[in-house]
Amino acid sequence: MSDEEQRPVAGNDPAPTPCAPATPGQVTIYRDVSLIDGTGAPVRRGMAVVTDGPAIEAVVPDAELSRSDLARGETVDVAGAFLLPGLIDTHQHLSTPPNREQAERLMRRQLYGGVTAIREMAGDLRQMADLGRAALLGEIAGPDICSAALMAGPGFFDDPRTWQVSQGATPGAVPWMQAIDDGTDLPLAVALARGTGAAAIKVYADLDAGLVARITAEAHRQGMQVWAHAAVFPAMPADVVAAGVDVVSHAHMLAHHFGGVRPPSYRDQRAHLADACRRFLDAPAEAVDALVGEMRRRGTVLDATTSVVDRIPLSPPGAAGLVRDMVKRLIDHARRAGVTICAGTDYETPPGDPYPSLHDELHHLVHVMGLPPREAVRAATLGGAAAMGLQDATGSVHAGKLANFVIVTDDPYEDIGHLRRVVTTVKRGRRHERADYNREGAPA
């Protein structure tokens, strides 16, 4: 390309980036911080967090800052408020069906509600690639996005959702939503998925244990993660974990490990869920040890999505309490075994709600599932980063990581509801004030 050809075309100026990450050399010092670092450690009061551009430069006791330190950049007096890592929703579907205007509104609410990253668990990745780029560059206000391209058996693709996210093309025959069988060229299929910009393959439905293992191995070979339903039918929970997937979603599906019947397909699972839950609850406590122990050994992250169980019909009428009891016991086993739990929602609250769905999931984890608030916070921060494979870059407040954090007025370790008292969200070093969001007409 000649120099003349490389010049911008007149009138084709780049889009404005009002939410762009802070630039290197732009130093901000957050003083008198009550620090929750995301690891589950106790609150450290009287701390300071120093950011340089999009990254955290230092986390030190406030009293150790010298005059020369303070002269380097802007200071923000947090006045004892609580600073913790940006929240991560590990199960979203903002592009099912695709609606750009709605997705931008929801992403904006997520960011101003403390959410700095999400996993988009399959959808129309044509739209998500553009939304992810816009949020990363700061053209729009929104969390960072890690997306998954879906793979499932051919029988799944008459599901109406697959048509919604493949408009203009054929479900099962597009790179972001592929039908897989024993004859599929898996290296090519994974390469096509990578080309969409997806960070992971989502293993969804109607696949046997052998295919789940082959997909997982090929995705890992090509540098992609694998995020799977906890049971894929006919592949069961133990098959999915043994395949080496990185994350399993939907704790209620783990009940099928104890089912007397192996559902032959995704559509058949709900008819057997209540029976599987009864078998789980009737089994001795140690019966689940092998499954959660293998998850712990392999580092399999559990995307529990507990509150969605109360929102969608998963079982025969009257069985919702049974499913909830099973999930509560399973979560307790998993956390005691040392399985990493992350906080995913699989839905968004109505547009008129002031905060995104992740806050409802955290309330559910604490008040229904029995997690201590400290563990729920970890699930929504460092646990979420682990689910995306980004724990070295985000999820905790440490030097060298992205400057992604949220400041709230009161201690979420005392009451998880305090996470709704957002003052400021910082994403890649750029501040987003909750007061601005409220003033612009959002629900207070």
The reply to whether 114 and 251 lie within a common domain is yes
The reply to whether 57 and 97 lie within a common domain is no
Q: Is residue 444 part of a domain?
A: no
The reply to whether 290 and 434 lie within a common domain is no
| 302, pLDDT greater than 90 | yes
| 369, pLDDT greater than 70 | yes
User: Residues 320, 321, 324, 330: what is their CA dihedral angle, to the nearest 10 degrees?
Assistant: -120
- Give the pLDDT confidence of 70-120 residue by residue, as tens digits: 999 999 999 999 999 999 999 999 999 999 999 999 999 999 999 999 999
Tracing tokens 């058949």 back to the chain, one arrives at: 268
The reply to whether 339 and 409 lie within a common domain is no
Total domains in the chain come to: 2
Domain ranges, residue 419? 27-84+401-439
3-class DSSP state of 57: strand
Binned at pLDDT 50, 70 and 90, residue 327 comes out as: very high
Q: From residue 392, how far is each of 161, 337, 388, 396 by CA, in Å?
A: 34, 23, 10, 9
DSSP β-ladder status, 301-303 and 247-249: parallel
Q: Is residue 224 part of a domain?
A: yes
- Asked if residues 107 and 143 have their Cβ atoms less than 8 Å apart, the reply is yes
To the nearest whole percent, how much of the chain has pLDDT over 70?
95
Average pLDDT, the chain: 94
**CA 417/CA 360 separation, integer angstroms:** 9
Give the contacts of 248 (CB within 8 A, at least 6 positions apart).
228, 229, 230, 237, 240, 241, 254, 295, 300, 301, 302, 303
* Number of CB atoms found within 10 A of residue 90's CB: 33
The reply to whether 115 and 245 lie within a common domain is yes
Contacts 24+ apart (CB under 8 A), 216-222: 216/243, 216/244, 216/245, 217/244, 218/186, 218/187, 218/189, 218/190, 219/190, 219/193, 220/244, 222/187, 222/190, 222/191, 222/194
Q: Is residue 17 part of a domain?
A: no
- Asked if residues 141 and 112 have their Cβ atoms less than 8 Å apart, the reply is yes
Q: What is the mean pLDDT of residues 269-283?
A: 89
Q: Is residue 18 part of a domain?
A: no
The reply to whether 111 and 71 lie within a common domain is no
pLDDT at position 441: 65
| 265, pLDDT greater than 70 | yes
The reply to whether 95 and 244 lie within a common domain is yes
Binned at pLDDT 50, 70 and 90, residue 309 comes out as: confident
Q: Is residue 231 part of a domain?
A: yes
Nearest to 246 by CA among 200, 192, 187, 308: 200
Give the type of residue at 108: R
Residue 66 is given by DSSP the state: -
Measured at the CA of 121, the angle between CA 145 and CA 222, to 5 degrees, comes to: 80
Mapping DSSP onto H, E and C, the string for 365-411 reads HHHCCCCCHHHHHHHCCHHHHHHHCCCCCCCCCCCCCECCEEEECCC
Binned at pLDDT 50, 70 and 90, residue 311 comes out as: confident
Residue 261 is given by DSSP the state: S
pTM of the model: 0.96
Binned at pLDDT 50, 70 and 90, residue 262 comes out as: confident
The reply to whether 289 and 411 lie within a common domain is no
DSSP β-ladder status, 177-179 and 144-152: parallel
| 156, pLDDT greater than 90 | yes
pLDDT at position 101: 96
pLDDT at position 442: 62
Half-sphere exposure of 329 (CA within 13 A, CB side): 20
Q: From residue 243, how far is each of 157, 158, 225, 304 by CA, in Å?
A: 23, 26, 12, 19
pLDDT at position 61: 98
- Give the pLDDT confidence of 370-417 residue by residue, as tens digits: 999 999 999 999 999 999 999 999 999 999 999 999 999 999 999 999
| 444, pLDDT greater than 50 | no
**CA 55/CA 45 separation, integer angstroms:** 21
- CATH number where 298 lies: 3.20.20.140
pLDDT at position 106: 97
Nearest to 423 by CA among 408, 439, 438: 408
pLDDT at position 8: 60
- Give the pLDDT confidence of 199-249 residue by residue, as tens digits: 999 999 999 999 999 999 999 999 999 999 999 999 999 999 999 999 999
| 1, pLDDT greater than 60 | no
Q: What is the mean pLDDT of residues 111-133?
A: 98
The reply to whether 347 and 420 lie within a common domain is no
The reply to whether 229 and 140 lie within a common domain is yes
Q: What is the mean pLDDT of residues 159-166?
A: 96
Nearest to 121 by CA among 88, 96, 99: 96
The reply to whether 300 and 251 lie within a common domain is yes
